[in-house]
Amino acid sequence: MRKSTTSCLCHILVCLCFIQRCYGASHHIPADKVTIAKNQTKLANGETEVHHRPKRGWIWNQFFVLEEHIGPDTQYVGKLHSNSDKGDGSVRYILSGEGAGSIFIINEVTGDIHATESLDRERKAHYVLHAQAFDRNTEKPLEPKSEFIIKVQDINDNAPTFPDGPFVAAVPEMSGVGTSVYQVTATDADDPTYGNSARVVYSILQGQPYFSVDPKTGVIRTALANMDREAREHYAVVIQAKDMAGSVGGLSGSTTINITLTDVNDNPPKFPQKNYQLYVPESAQVGKPVGKIKANDEDLGVNAEIKYSIINSEGAAMFSINTDRETREGIISLKKPLNYERKKTYTLQIEGVNSHLEPLFSYLGPFKDTATLKITVGDVDEPPVFSMDYYIMDIYENARIGREVGAVTARDPDSKNSHVRYFIDHSEHSDKYFNIDMDSGVIKTTQSLDREDMPWHNITVIASEVDNPSLLSHVPVTVQVLDVNDNPPEINKDKEVIVCESSRPGQVIQTMTAVDKDDFANGQRFSFALPSGVPVNPNFTLKDNEDNTASIITRRRQFSRIVQELYELPIVVWDGGEPALSGTSTLTLRVCPCQRNGRVQTCQDERGLLSSAGLSTGALIAILLCIVILLAIVVLFITLRRSKKEPLVISEEDVRENVVTYDDEGGGEEDTEAFDIITLRNPAAAEELKFRRDIRPEAARQRGQNRGCHSPPELNQVDVQEFINQRLVEADMDTSGPPYDSLQTYAYEGQMSPTGSISSLDSPGTHSEQDYNYLDDWGPEFQKLAELYVEDTDVADYNTS
């Protein structure tokens, strides 16, 4: 068939070439008959140049060649022919382009084109080539280069394929007929525009009668209703795709679709059996699991989740059930303690219900099931049981040793009623204040009890059976120690008692309270007094306020800290117990300067201030030592600076021929250290301060000390001339002075001012009527001044009276 098609095409091409050649020969015009037309140009030499329009002597569209050619000979494609070819072999044909010379070859004389290889359209559908005719003699082109296409003609040589296969699909179980499951699509590499080579039709080879496939679209659908996953879960469906529209001779390909039925809740839970039995010992702990039960559900995942419950009141009162999500079991736990002697069996009605229901399949219900569980309580040898969960007892303090405190009782809950023995657990407390009678359970004291030392005692009593000592029970026992008035009261000494120096007679110094270690049910009652049988205290007295407090009152005025700083005051205090007890406490009263009228009552005690600052004696000594060292360093530094003054003698040569120049500028009126002007204005002071600036101060100070600290009184009346002469003699006789003349200038203004002194120190004063109480408001800096004026006022009042 392929050869016949090829030969037909070749005959058609030969006819076309023949017609084209005849047409070109009939229209050939001799050169000598050509006249000048519009396309001619006359040259200067009289010749004419003709402009030829390119003549398309050949026009090619495309050639066809069948793919997959089989045979030893080359496959004929077509023939190239030019109008200039006279058949004498003067024309040479050249072929270029895709596959020229390798896949396609041309006969240069005849222009026949052949394919040397078998072509595959799916690999390359067409080839673009170029043809040209040359004059064999002149090698000039007779025709311009022309492009043509050789198209590979398709044959049905590719079967349909499923590139992504095999496939996996899922559909819910119990789905209706026609439910879409999956769609498959096959591909065919053949030319879909030529014939039916690429037209595919689908069919099912395996999977009937459960599934079907649409022959055109490839959609797979369910073909059987109510497919049950629990019966069969997986299906392998084989789909075939065949080209040539499924006709005979078409090529085909197949693929497999693995379809899984997904689960739906279409199965209720079922207990494997309706009746169960369980043995539980009476010693089982409350809240702990005692058994488990399970209902089966053929569904998967959430569709198989089951919720268990106890639906009868007898079982729900004693037991509870919960669902284990991993194992889907019902875990039975104990809610209350079991007692074999009271009840030996329990019946539980247990129900299992699906948690997730689907209304679509409600007609398959009900989705629940019930079972009966009979629990048998086992008898166990139990430890003794105390009559109470805890005991509280009491006993008075200081009771005799061996005094009975109370008793505990326990019994054997078992039917045999074994004898019980009692013990005290001493592992918790090392002090053994109590013991217990092992047969009767009576608790007694072993030591004297003191409520003030320990008001409560906690002990643990252990009970065990005689027949089985390993079974133990524990019970807490609390013993309260009751109070007895066995402690005398004492004065509360938390605060220091301060007596101000300015206190007046009858002034309340401080209010005292008392403390008692004993416990009084109706409140404490205290009374206070000074000791009897001792001389009356001239400084202080005591007043009982009858409200469990007492006030210390001064008897005199004007305490002096310098005269006596500390006073002791014994006080007797009685309690209101039965019998009443008394105690004597001695208070220490400290005298301190305080603010006036006792408004603030703040004692400015130096030791208190130092103690409040948190400084110890050693720290204070260290601070003072550092201050002394710093002062010594400062004094040494000043002394060294004064000793390093520039010497007045510049050369060791004859000092009489030297002129000493001073370039020292004074500090003005504010310079109070450069020169003491008082010695110039007051001759009496000059005698007292005989220091010269041209000698060392130490020498002058030593001379002043030798003369004494005060000048004679008669110097006040000396004449200025005599004073100057005296100073001249002293300057001449002074051996410590420098060996050169010095100029001393004295300015004396005189004395005996007629106005007298304006100082009030020597003036006789009279008592002023002015009130100096406002000095108290000036602060602690003026406190001493206020006290001085107040004392003067009091003395003046006393003298007046």
Q: Tens of pLDDT along 473-532? A: 999 999 999 988 888 888 888 778 888 888 888 888 888 888 888 777 656 788 889 888
Tokens coding 283: 């010693």
Q: Where are the alpha helices (DSSP H) in 644-801?
A: 678-681, 683-688, 697-707, 720-733, 783-800
Is residue 585 very low, low, confident or very high in pLDDT (cuts 50, 70, 90)?
Answer: confident
Q: Point out the least confidently predicted range of 138-147, 209-218, 313-322, 662-671.
A: 662-671
Is residue 436 very low, low, confident or very high in pLDDT (cuts 50, 70, 90)?
Answer: very high
Question: What is the pLDDT averaged over residues 152-180?
Answer: 88
Q: What percent of the chain has pLDDT over 70?
A: 72
* DSSP reduced 3-state for 315: helix
Name residue 430's beta-bridge partners.
none
Check: CB of residue 434 under 8 Å from CB of residue 520: no
Residue 206: per-residue pLDDT: 93
Residue 603: per-residue pLDDT: 55
In the block, which residue shows the tokens 């008001």? Answer: 455
Residue 242 has pLDDT above 60, yes or no: yes
Q: Which amino acid is at 716?
A: N
55-64, 184-193, 623-632 — most confident range:
623-632
Q: What percent of the chain has pLDDT over 90?
A: 27
Residue 27: per-residue pLDDT: 34
- Beta carbons within 8 Å of 317's beta carbon, 6+ residues apart: 335, 336
d(CA 434, CA 425): 11
Q: Which amino acid is at 583?
A: G
Question: What is the pLDDT averaged over residues 289-301?
Answer: 92
CA torsion through residues 726, 728, 731, 732, sign: negative
Asked whether the bond before 383 is cis by omega within 30 degrees of 0, the reply is: no
Longest dimension (CA), the chain: 185
- The DSSP line for 263-312 is P-S-S--B-S-SEEEEEEETTPPTTSEEEEE--B-SS-GGGG-EEEEE-S
CA torsion through residues 514, 515, 518, 523, sign: positive
Check: CB of residue 587 under 8 Å from CB of residue 568: yes
| Span 755-789, pLDDT tens digits | 555 544 444 444 455 666 677 677 666 777 777 76
Residues 745-758 as b or e (16 or more Cβ within 10 Å = b) = eeeeeeeeeeeeee
- The DSSP line for 625-662 is HHHHHHHHHHHHHHHHHHHTPPPS---SS-GGG-----
Residue 126 has pLDDT above 50, yes or no: yes
> Residue 622 to residues 613, 625, 629: CA-CA distances in angstroms?
15, 5, 11
Check: CB of residue 150 under 8 Å from CB of residue 60: no
Question: What is the pLDDT averaged over residues 239-264?
Answer: 89
| Span 394-412, pLDDT tens digits | 999 888 999 999 999 999 8
User: Which has the closest alpha carbon to 698: 741, 744, 660, 642?
Assistant: 642
Tokens coding 510: 């401080």
453-467, 514-528, 639-653 — most confident range:
453-467
Q: Point out the least confidently predicted range of 27-31, 396-400, 561-565.
A: 27-31
| Angle made by CA atoms 339, 341, 344, in degrees to the nearest 5 | 75
Residue 792: per-residue pLDDT: 55
- The DSSP line for 427-495 is SS-SS--EEE-TTT-EEEESS---TTT-SEEEEEEEEEESS-TT-EEEEEEEEEEEP-S-S--EE--SS
HEC string for 351-394: EEEECCCCHHHHHHCCCEEEEEEEEEEECCCCCCEECCCCEEEE
Check: CB of residue 169 under 8 Å from CB of residue 211: no
Cβ-based burial of 116 (10 A; exposed 0-12, middle 13-18, buried ≥19): middle
Is residue 136 very low, low, confident or very high in pLDDT (cuts 50, 70, 90)?
Answer: confident
In the block, which residue shows the tokens 């004389």? Answer: 109
| Span 657-713, pLDDT tens digits | 555 555 555 555 555 555 555 544 455 444 444 444 444 444 444 444 444 434 444
187-191, 313-317, 649-653, 696-700 — most confident range:
313-317
Residue 612 has pLDDT above 70, yes or no: no
Tokens coding 35: 């006249």
- Beta carbons within 8 Å of 230's beta carbon, 6+ residues apart: 173, 267, 298, 299
* DSSP reduced 3-state for 46: coil
Cβ-based burial of 157 (10 A; exposed 0-12, middle 13-18, buried ≥19): middle
Residue 189: per-residue pLDDT: 81
Residue 275: per-residue pLDDT: 95
Tokens coding 743: 């100029």
Is residue 14 very low, low, confident or very high in pLDDT (cuts 50, 70, 90)?
Answer: very low
> pTM of the entire structure?
0.42
Is residue 361 very low, low, confident or very high in pLDDT (cuts 50, 70, 90)?
Answer: confident
In the block, which residue shows the tokens 């007629």? Answer: 754
- Beta carbons within 8 Å of 600's beta carbon, 6+ residues apart: 594
Is residue 123 very low, low, confident or very high in pLDDT (cuts 50, 70, 90)?
Answer: confident
Which run of H or E residues covers position 527? strand 526-529
d(CA 233, CA 210): 12
HEC string for 384-431: CEECCCCEEEEEECCCCCCCEEEECCEECCCCCCCCEEEEECCCCCCC
Is residue 319 very low, low, confident or very high in pLDDT (cuts 50, 70, 90)?
Answer: very high
Question: What is the pLDDT averaged over residues 523-545?
Answer: 86
> Residue 642 to residues 646, 649, 695: CA-CA distances in angstroms?
10, 17, 12
* DSSP reduced 3-state for 133: strand
Residue 3: per-residue pLDDT: 35
Residue 747: per-residue pLDDT: 57
The secondary structure of the chain in percent helix, strand, coil, rounded to multiples of 5, reads 20, 30, 50
d(CA 101, CA 105): 5
CA torsion through residues 428, 431, 435, 441, sign: negative
Is residue 90 very low, low, confident or very high in pLDDT (cuts 50, 70, 90)?
Answer: confident
In the block, which residue shows the tokens 């001619």? Answer: 40
Question: What is the pLDDT averaged over residues 142-147?
Answer: 86
> Residue 96 to residues 54, 146, 668: CA-CA distances in angstroms?
21, 10, 125
C-alpha neighbours within 13 Å on the C-beta side of residue 84: 18
CA torsion through residues 420, 421, 422, 427, sign: negative
| Span 296-314, pLDDT tens digits | 998 898 888 999 999 999 9
User: Which has the closest alpha carbon to 155: 251, 12, 13?
Assistant: 251
- Beta carbons within 8 Å of 271's beta carbon, 6+ residues apart: 293, 294, 295, 296, 352, 369, 370, 371
Check: CB of residue 576 under 8 Å from CB of residue 525: yes
d(CA 37, CA 40): 5
Residue 647: per-residue pLDDT: 55
* DSSP reduced 3-state for 696: coil
Is residue 9 very low, low, confident or very high in pLDDT (cuts 50, 70, 90)?
Answer: very low
Residue 393 or 43, more confident: 393
Residue 483: per-residue pLDDT: 85
d(CA 527, CA 476): 43
Check: CB of residue 560 under 8 Å from CB of residue 593: no
Residue 213 has pLDDT above 70, yes or no: yes
In the block, which residue shows the tokens 């002015």? Answer: 770
Residue 181 has pLDDT above 90, yes or no: yes
Q: Point out the least confidently predicted range of 358-367, 642-651, 729-738.
A: 642-651
Question: What is the pLDDT averaged over residues 15-43?
Answer: 35
Computed over every residue of the chain, the mean pLDDT equals 77
Residue 239: per-residue pLDDT: 93
Is residue 190 very low, low, confident or very high in pLDDT (cuts 50, 70, 90)?
Answer: confident
d(CA 224, CA 211): 7
d(CA 379, CA 344): 8
In the block, which residue shows the tokens 């006080």? Answer: 571
Residue 110 has pLDDT above 80, yes or no: yes
Spatial strand order in the sheet of 391-396: 391-396, 472-482, 456-465, 420-424
